[in-house]
Amino acid sequence: MKDFWDSRYGEEKEFVYGKEPNIFFADQLGNIPPGKLLLPCEGEGRNAVFAAALGWEVDAIDFSDAAREKALAFAKDSGVNMKYYLAEIESFKAPSEFYDAVGLVYAHFHSAKRKQIHAHLLSLLKPGGWVIMEAFSKKQMPYKSGGPKDEEMLYDLKSIKEDFQSLKKIIFQEMMIELDEGDYHRGKAMVVRFVGKKII
């Protein structure tokens, strides 16, 4: 998998998902006072750079060297600071209850380890902290607008409800949207959107 992402990010000079942040993530993050933000599977840094410009202290994670290189160059060119860790999500180390928000933007994990990863991320979230998520639904399979082609890596509302049952649900929906995020996220898409707050 690392080879796949290094190839995708490294062989193309353009930003494969564009430089603009995910619209849903950007809209929701704008409602929260800046603090410490964790962005797993951050790729080329489009959401991290946006958040840093709003005043967030951003920690990004990915396992692609090529993505990290492009993201840090993007941040420098944009005049913002961020930290970018090369790591598997489940082995990423941080103090418990450290982050004010976690952004999961098309962060797809196989069902065999999804619950474990989400539980780990929740342990890093402060009481009162936020999870903002947009990901492809299992109903995305017929569409060519992006996402994994393995249904075990896609989401439904049931799995999100189970994984984030400890959070107060603010937004919890499955819907069709029109994606326009670079060459690999373009066209009609079925997504799940979730915003939850960790109960104090």
Q: What is the pLDDT of residue 158?
A: 96
Mean pLDDT of 93-103: 97
What is the structure's pLDDT at 172? 97
Q: Which pLDDT does position 4 carry in this prediction?
A: 59
137 DSSP 8-state letter: B
pLDDT at 160 over 90: yes
Burial class (CB in 10 A: 0-12, 13-18, 19+), 157: middle
**Mean pLDDT throughout 129-143?**
97
- Condensed to tens digits (0 to 9), the pLDDT of residues 10-33 reads 555 678 898 999 999 999 999 999
Which residue is listed with tokens 């995910």? 22
**What is the span of the domain harbouring residue 19?**
2-198
User: Which residues are within 8 A (CB) of 4 and not within 5 positions of it... i.e. 6 or more apart?
Assistant: none
Residue-wise pLDDT for 179-190, tens only, equals 999 888 999 999
Which pLDDT belongs to residue 183?
A: 86
CB burial class (10 A; 0-12, 13-18, 19+) of residue 11? Answer: exposed
pLDDT at 15: 87
What is the per-residue pLDDT for 149? 93
Which pLDDT band, with edges at 50, 70 and 90, does 3 fall under? low
CA distances in angstroms from 41 to 31, 86, 106, listed in the order given: 22, 10, 8
Whether the pLDDT of residue 1 is over 90: the answer is no
b/e string for 73-102 if b means 16 or more Cβ within 10 A? ebbeebebebebbeeebeebebeeeebbbb
3-state secondary structure of 129: strand
CATH at residue 26: 3.40.50.150
Residue 169 has pLDDT above 80, yes or no: yes
* The model's pTM: 0.94
Mean residue pLDDT across the chain: 93
- Total domains present in the chain: 1
